[in-house]
Every structure is written in C-alpha cells, then in structure tokens.
Amino acid sequence: MLTKIDQLPSHVLGIRAGYKVTKADMQQVLLPALDELAERSDRLNYLLVLGTGVQNFTAEAWWQDMIAGLRHFTDWNRIAVVTGQKPAEWFTDLFELAVPGKSKGFSLAQLDEAVSWVSQVEVPKKVNFKKSARIALGAGLVFAGISHLTFARKDFRAQVPDWVPLEKDDIVVYSGLAEIALGSAILLTPEKQADRVGKIAAVFFTAVFPGNLAQYKNHRSAFGMDTDQKRLARLFFQPVLIAWALASTAKSKETPVRAARISPEIQRKGRQRMK
C-alpha cells in the first residue's frame, strides 16, 4: 500500500510504503503524483519512507518503479529513502551514480533529517547521458540479478523454456548470479575498456531472449505481462537492451588534431629571417 505524505514543501513528493506494494499502488498513487509534480516543477524532490521490507514489493511494482525512474530520468533533483533495512539504505546511496541528481538513504530514526535534506534544491548539473546510461544499465543488471535470487524468483521461472535440460530454479539462480557479475563489471570497468563488457552484455541479452519467447509462446503471466499483447510487446524491448548495452559502452570517437598548414611563401620568409 502506498500513501502520500502531507505537510511537506510543495516541491517535495512524499510517499509512504506499507504492507504489500503492488502494481496497482504504483499506477494509482506514485506515477500520477510524479507526473503532477513534474508538470509544475522543473526538478523532482522525492521522499520514500519504507514502512515495509523491499521483499514486500511485487515484481510488477518494481517494474513500474523502473518505468517511473526512466520516464523522469533527467528531472531528478534529490531522492531520499528512509528505511529500516541497511542494504536498501546502501543501494540508495549508490543510486546517485545512476541519476543526474542526488540520492541518499536514511534510517527510520533520521526521518526529520531526510525531510530537511530532500527539501533542498540543487543547481542543475550538466548530464553526461552516455555515462548515466551505462551506470543505469549496470545498476539495473545488479538489481535484476538480486531479484532473480529473491522476490522475483517465481516470476523468472516462468521465462525458462521447457527444453532447457536443467531445473528451472537452477537456471534462474545461475542467470541471476551472471547478471550481478555483469552489472558489477559495467559499473566498475574503466571507461576505456567498457566496450568489451558492453559486447558481453549484448551477447547475454541475446542468449536470454529465448526465455522471453517461451513466455509468449506458453502464455505465461509474469511481471504484469498477463496478455499476449503485452508479452509480444516485451519481445521488442530486447533489441533495445542490446542497443543500450552497445551504445552506452562504446568508445568515444576522438577527433584527430590536424597540424596547421603553412604556405610556402611564409616558410620562405621565415627561413630568410633566420639567416
């Protein structure tokens, strides 16, 4: 369940999460509130108070949360997450690497401090879209890998094709570990060598594509894709991931510096002066 927090500055959106959080909560509370704030403010200041564990968010809810983050990617000013779970607090601190604004985690006892911090307005900084896209991809892979091993494990089993000669749960675990390793490599590899990791990520996205096909072919519902139309649309997102991996990690083209051409007449006069 999601509820809006009152008595905050007008430029701050506060949301409290309690009990179980579903896709409907996201669509009915968070997304409209973010859209409304974005319409009347150039920057988004967002306070999330987690009165429940992240494991109580459904996979569909996390998917909607990712959509909200990407929809307003360049609008984020400050994101504060108040939680009783240390891993969630640490992840929020690291999330600052993936967004143009600032992100910080707070404990439940630091709620007043979080409100004060998130209410501040930053001067917009220049966005390096390529670097931000690479970091977002790496963080997304790490998050997806963690979800494979925890709250979305059952949903991911629905994507494993029947012809794979291993237990479906084992495949989910192995692919989750691979995503964590790959995402970490994208985040930590120096930019000059990142293109190699990007190509590996593109191959990985290609290799898991049969799982998306199996979900569509077998009419399996997962991650909110409960109709054939939605499952079909998901198939076209895989090429986007492949292009994202390659484009965000590609080496920057350096413009060669050309030596200035000196006319023969100037060269002749220069030699005469040197004599």
Q: Are residues 51 and 144 in the same domain?
A: no
Q: Is residue 271 part of a domain?
A: no
CA nearest neighbour of 35 among 27, 77, 198: 27
Claim to verify: residue 161 and residue 101 sit in the same structural domain: no
Residue 124 has a pLDDT of: 56
Instruction: Judge whether 192 lies within some domain.
Output: yes
Among candidate residues 126, 133, 240, the one with its CA nearest the CA of residue 194: 133
Is the distance from CB of 33 to CB of 4 less than 8 angstroms? yes
* 229 has pLDDT over 90: no
- Write down the pTM of the prediction: 0.59
Same domain, 48 and 92: yes
pLDDT of 75 higher than 60:
yes
Task: Please check whether residues 68 and 111 belong to one and the same domain.
Answer: yes
Which residues, including other chains, have CB under 8 Å from residue 21's CB and lie 6 or more apart?
1, 2, 52, 56, 57, 58, 61
At residue 275, the pLDDT reads 53
Per the structure, the count of domains in the chain is 2
Taking residues 138-154, report their average pLDDT.
Answer: 86
Cβ–Cβ < 8 Å for 79, 101: yes
Judge whether 124 lies within some domain.
Answer: no
Amino acid identity of residue 58, one-letter, is T
Q: By 3-state DSSP, what share of the chain in percent is helix, strand and coil, each rounded to 5? A: 60, 10, 25
For residue range 17-73, what is the model confidence (pLDDT) as tens digits?
A: 988 888 888 989 998 999 899 888 878 899 999 988 877 888 778 777 877 777 777
Percentage of the chain with pLDDT > 90?
Answer: 28
Q: What is the largest CA-CA distance in the chain?
A: 90
Distances in Å between the Cα of 184 and the Cα atoms of 2, 55, 140, 179, 274 are 31, 22, 10, 8, 60
Choosing from 93, 118, 143, the residue where a domain stops is: 118
The answer to whether residue 266 is domain-embedded is no
Same-domain status, 133 and 226: yes
Distances in Å between the Cα of 213 and the Cα atoms of 86, 141, 191, 203, 264 are: 37, 20, 33, 16, 67
The reply to whether 273 falls in a domain is no
Across 56-60, 134-138, 207-211, 266-270, the highest mean pLDDT is recorded for 207-211
Mean pLDDT of the chain: 83
- Of 69, 93, 118, which one is at a domain's C-terminal end? 118
Same domain, 114 and 134: no
Please report whether residue 26 resides in a domain: yes
**Is pLDDT above 60 for 271?**
no
- Euclidean distance between the first and final Cα of the chain, in Å? 88
Q: Which of 211, 214, 210, 189 is nearest to 200 (CA)?
A: 189
- Token look-up 């030596």 returns 259
- Residue 212 falls within a domain, yes or no? yes
Mean pLDDT of 124-141: 76
Among 118, 145, 173, residue at a domain's last position: 118
- pLDDT tens digits, 202-222: 999 999 999 888 888 888 887
Domain assignment present for 22 = yes
Among 97-101, 125-129, 244-248, the least confident range: 125-129
Range of the domain at 197: 129-249
| 102 DSSP β-pair partners | 78
- Judge if 111 and 135 occupy the same domain: no
Whether 143 and 213 map to the same domain: the answer is: yes
112 and 137 together in one domain? no
For residue 252, give the 3-state DSSP assignment.
coil
pLDDT bucket at 259, cuts 50 / 70 / 90: very low
Q: Do 136 and 110 lie in a common domain?
A: no
Classify residue 144 as left (phi > 0), alpha (psi -120 to 50) or beta.
Answer: alpha
Percentage of residues in the chain having pLDDT higher than 70: 88
Let me know: does 114 contact 79? Beta carbons within 8 Å: no
Q: Residue 111 has what pLDDT?
A: 93
Q: What is the pLDDT of residue 81?
A: 93
Residues 16, 20: Cα–Cα separation, whole Å: 12
Averaged pLDDT, 119-148 = 79
Rounded to the nearest 10 degrees, how much is the dihedral formed by the CA atoms of 141, 249, 89, 147?
0
Dihedral (CA of 84, 18, 98, 245) sign: positive
| Domain co-membership, 92 together with 138 | no
Residue 74 carries which DSSP code?
Answer: G
For position 89, what pLDDT does the model report? 84
Task: Say whether both 164 and 59 belong to one domain.
Answer: no
pLDDT given for residue 102 in this prediction: 87
- pLDDT tens-digit readout, 161-205: 888 888 999 999 999 999 999 999 998 888 888 899 999 999 999
